[in-house]
Structure 1
Amino acid sequence: MFVLVNLKAYPCDPAAVAAAARDVAEASGVRIAVAPQAAHLDRVAATGVETWAQHVAPVEHGSHTGHTLAEAVADAGAEGTLLNHSEHRLTLADIDGALDAADRADLETVVCANNPQQVGAVAALAPDAVAVEPPELIGGDVSVSTADPGIVEGAVAAAEAVDPAVDVYCGAGVSTGEDLAAAGSLGAEGVLLASGVAKADDPRAALEDLVSGV
């Protein structure tokens, strides 16, 4: 099971969360990665935790002011990148271009999708994984695996039908060990979460609870 912690633009200490994630990963044997703001990638990577970018743009080296270059995040220590989060939507063409950019920089990829239909469309572009996240549940207290397990099961089936090599993760409202276990029971290979760790009073305790059932 893979746990990807998206720090978004929350007012947390990215290095402190990263250090907690590193320690919990080492103690539990669960793969945990942290996706900070681009400006904090090197600080997070310096802790030794697996580090991901929140986004890379579908561009190459050149005149692209304000875009996030895949090679630049890789140089800063990123090993993977999120794409198409509900808070940073892309067209299918731009997702395809961003996947090409990530491939150039040897970054692992997780593409977010709202529902099983989108999961199927995105899986056709051959990312490493897709994460199903209904927008209405993002940032809430109820996980998608609890609120609507059919969405997770449908996402797994949709990806399997298109490309069995594409893993499926689930996000939106994930915060506890029960959520993680439920995701796994529905066929998900990982989870994507944010506020459950980034906004926790004690991120280490939140992560320990999250992986407690693994």
Structure 2
Amino acid sequence: MFVLVNLKAYPRDPVEVAEAAASVDSGAAEIAIAPQTAHIDAVAETGVQTWAQHLSPVEHGSHTGSTLAEAAADAGATGTLLNHSENRLKLADIDGSLDAADRVGFDTCVCANNPDQIRAAAALGPDAVAVEPPELIGSGTPVSKADPDIVRDAVEAAESVDPTVDVYCGAGISTGEDVVAARELGAEGVLLASGVAKADDPAAALADLVDPL
């Protein structure tokens, strides 16, 4: 299982979380951290797999305020999250951001609210898509419990378009039980944020997530 921890803009030392992730010994899970852009280099230096929270659909040039793929790669990122519910993109911009990620060889995951959006996202050719009903983000109630059919239908939707696109489960993931439930519904990874980023002991929180695997 792939576990992507999105640190968002929480007031947490990203290096502390990255070091915690690097310390977790689990052959059953692959853990990555998505810090703020300004912290990518510091997180990458810990040796943990590091993702950008966003890439802009731009090339080198006059693009003030953009997150350039090449700059994120130079800082040590190897993947990117796109179209999170807190940073929605137009379809054309998602496509452009995927092209930007492809220029630097990034792994990619496009977020979507529901199976219909998952189908559209999968058609753009990312490595993975993540189903995240926005009303459950940060709720502590995982989508695998609130509405497991959304996860099953998202897996079917992605497979109907491109069977090579992995499906991740996000929104409300906070325990190892949630991760196991997501796997049983067909997901090959999970996205989470507050369950680790707000934990008193991020290493313990991560261990609790992956130990049941």
TM-score normalised per structure 2: 0.99
Alignment partners' CA distance in 2, 1:22 and 1:127: 26
Could you say what secondary structure the match of 1:130 adopts?
A: strand
Could you say what secondary structure the match of 1:157 adopts?
A: helix
**Where has structure 1 moved over 2 Å in runs of 4 or more?**
none
Please list, as runs of the form range in 1=range in 2, the aligned pairs for 1:123-142 lying within 5 A after superposition: 123-142=122-141
Alignment partners' CA distance in 2, 1:105 and 1:137: 33
Is residue 167 from structure 1 mapped to residue 166 from structure 2 by the alignment? yes
Please list, as runs of the form range in 1=range in 2, the aligned pairs for 1:1-214 lying within 5 A after superposition: 1-24=1-24, 27-29=25-27, 30-214=29-213
Could you say what secondary structure the match of 2:56 adopts?
A: coil
Identity %: 75
Q: Give the superposition deviation at 1:162.
A: 0.3
Alignment partners' CA distance in 1, 2:11 and 2:137: 18
Alignment partners' CA distance in 1, 2:178 and 2:144: 7
Q: Give the superposition deviation at 1:6.
A: 0.2
Q: Give the superposition deviation at 1:158.
A: 0.2
CA RMSD, Structure 1 to Structure 2 (Å): 0.4
Could you say what secondary structure the match of 1:33 adopts?
A: strand
Q: Give the superposition deviation at 1:212.
A: 1.2
Could you say what secondary structure the match of 1:139 adopts?
A: coil
Question: Which AA in structure 2 matches 1:178?
Answer: E
Q: Give the superposition deviation at 1:85.
A: 0.2
Alignment partners' CA distance in 2, 1:87 and 1:174: 17
- Superposed CA offset, 1:15-43 (max 9, x none): 0000000111xx11220000000000000
Segments of structure 1 that go 5 or more residues without pairing to the other structure are none
Question: Which AA in structure 2 matches 1:182?
Answer: A
Segments of structure 2 that go 5 or more residues without pairing to the other structure are none
- Superposed CA offset, 1:116-156 (max 9, x none): 00000000000000000000000111101111000000000
Alignment partners' CA distance in 2, 1:165 and 1:210: 25
Q: Give the superposition deviation at 1:105.
A: 1.0
Could you say what secondary structure the match of 1:34 adopts?
A: strand
Question: Which AA in structure 2 matches 1:120?
Answer: R
